[in-house]
Structure formats: C-alpha cells, structure tokens
Structure 1
Amino acid sequence: MENQPPTSPLSPAPSSLSESDARLWAMLAHLSALPGSFFLIGSVLAPLIIWQIQKDKSAFVDYHGKEALNFQITIALATAVSLLLMFVLIGFVLIWVVGIVWLIFTIIAGIKANNGECYRYPITIRFIK
C-alpha cells in the first residue's frame, strides 16, 4: 500500500474512476500549471479547477490535487517575494531559482502521479490539508 495516498476518516468515497483515469487526472493536476503559467494566476487556477472537479471521484486525485495546489500557491508567493526583492537586486537571481525549482518539481510530480505513486513536494506550505 506504499503507493496509496494517506487515508483519514474524512477520505472521499471509493474511487469512481478507473486506476488509469485517476493517474491521468492526478498527472494533469500537476502539469496543468505549466501552460497556466502564461496567465497571471493560471498556474494556480488550472490545478484548482481539476482538483475541484475530480476530488470526489478518487482519493488518489484528491491527494495529488491538493499537493499540486499547495505547491503552486507556495511558488506564487515565492515569485511575489522575488519580484519585491528586485528592488535590492537579489530578486533578479531569486526569480530564476524559483522558476527552475518550479519547473523541475512540477515535472517530477506529474511523472510520479502518472506512475501511480504519491509525491509530496518539498519546500511547500500546506495551505490545504
């Protein structure tokens, strides 16, 4: 049961999605942030929409949707801090670091979700539990 998301008394109803569909939606919850990054809040909005639509259909998608959303919110905050720090020049370097970390961790999470594994983003503030 290593690849199953953590269970709790408040876990959603049993999965109404097939395993392959659940893995697909979980992967999309992570990777939808990539094209969404071209819009102001798209990288947060796309995972939020996928999570809200699919969370009741699969505990696996619920887990990955929360992870994706928490990470994207954390990255949005880190980007805002980087933009503010551009006034003292360190932000110009920091924004690149945040961008590279965002891209790498988002791709890793999408691959792990597609493989049916649970992935917990490092350096993420857990706003949604």
Structure 2
Amino acid sequence: MNDSGIPPMNMPVINRDDKNMAVMAHLLPLFGFMVPGVNIVIPLVIWFLKRNKSLYIEHHARESLNFQITISLLVVLWIVLKLMLVGLLLLPLVPVIVIVVLVFLVRAAMKAGRGEFYRYPLSLRLVN
C-alpha cells in the first residue's frame, strides 16, 4: 500500500475472510505442540482447499506449510542428535528455538492480518 492507503494497481484486493484464513494458516499449527503432525496437516489442508480460490491465502498457507516442514525436520534432527550425544549442550537450545518459532508465527500472522505478504526467514521452500 502506498501512503494514501490505496493498494497499487497490480495488488489484488484482499477481503477480511481471506485475511482471517491466512492468519489461521499461521496460528493453527500451534496445535502441533500438543498433537505432533497437526502443525503440517493444518496449513496443508488450507493450502490444498484454497490454492485455486485466493492467491493471498495460497501464499500464506504455502509459507506456513514450508515453515512447519522446516521446523519438523529440525525437530527430528534435534532428536537424533540428542540420542547420539545423550543431550549434551542441546537441551538449553529448546527454549530459545521455541521462542524464535513463536515470534516468527506471530509476526507472520500479524502481517497476514494486515493484508501483507510474508516470507519466513530461514525456511526451506519445499512446496511451490
């Protein structure tokens, strides 16, 4: 958006429902802390159902899905290293990583709620 609040000519108009769905694509994966795998399934379902209906929702669901896959791969790597090294020096990293993930999720949800496109930093781009 420019200073007058009017979107540029090439930017699609994003309605409130699209913004809400995009926010949910970023925040609902938090249930993955309670039920492993849900963090990937939720953005995958949103992306699959909405990818042909809204470019905005498709973008945010895809970004969320890529980020959740990246985080899941890192968790698996962390578990393997923890088992191999019997937890030496790896346990103190858990709170730091959780806080960083939460900050990225909240930041993405805020941008989605404002109608902005967002890309997670340090995320693998596995789903195009």
Output the amino acid matched with 1:33.
Answer: P
Displacement after TM superposition at 1:94 (Å): 3.0
Output the amino acid matched with 1:37.
Answer: F
Aligned length: 120
Residue 90 of structure 1: SS of its match in structure 2? coil
Counterpart in the other structure of 1:108? 107
CA RMSD of aligned residues (A): 2.4
Residue 90 of structure 2: SS of its match in structure 1? helix
Q: When the two structures are superposed, what TM-score results if normalisation uses the length of structure 1? A: 0.81
Larger Rg: 2
Q: When the two structures are superposed, what TM-score results if normalisation uses the length of structure 2? A: 0.82
Counterpart in the other structure of 1:30? 26
Q: Percent identical across equivalent pairs?
A: 36
Displacement after TM superposition at 1:58 (Å): 0.4
Unaligned runs of 5+ in 2: none
Unaligned runs of 5+ in 1: 8-13
How far apart in 1 are the matches of 2:23 and 2:51?
A: 13
CA displacement 1:4-39 (0-9 Å, x = unmatched): 9xx9xxxxxx88xx6111111111111110123311
Displacement after TM superposition at 1:93 (Å): 2.5
List structure 1 segments (4+ residues) > 2 angstroms apart after TM superposition.
1-4, 93-98
Counterpart in the other structure of 1:73? 69
Output the amino acid matched with 1:115.
Answer: R
Listed as ranges, the matches of 1:29-68 within 5 Å are: 29-68=25-64
Output the amino acid matched with 1:82.
Answer: W
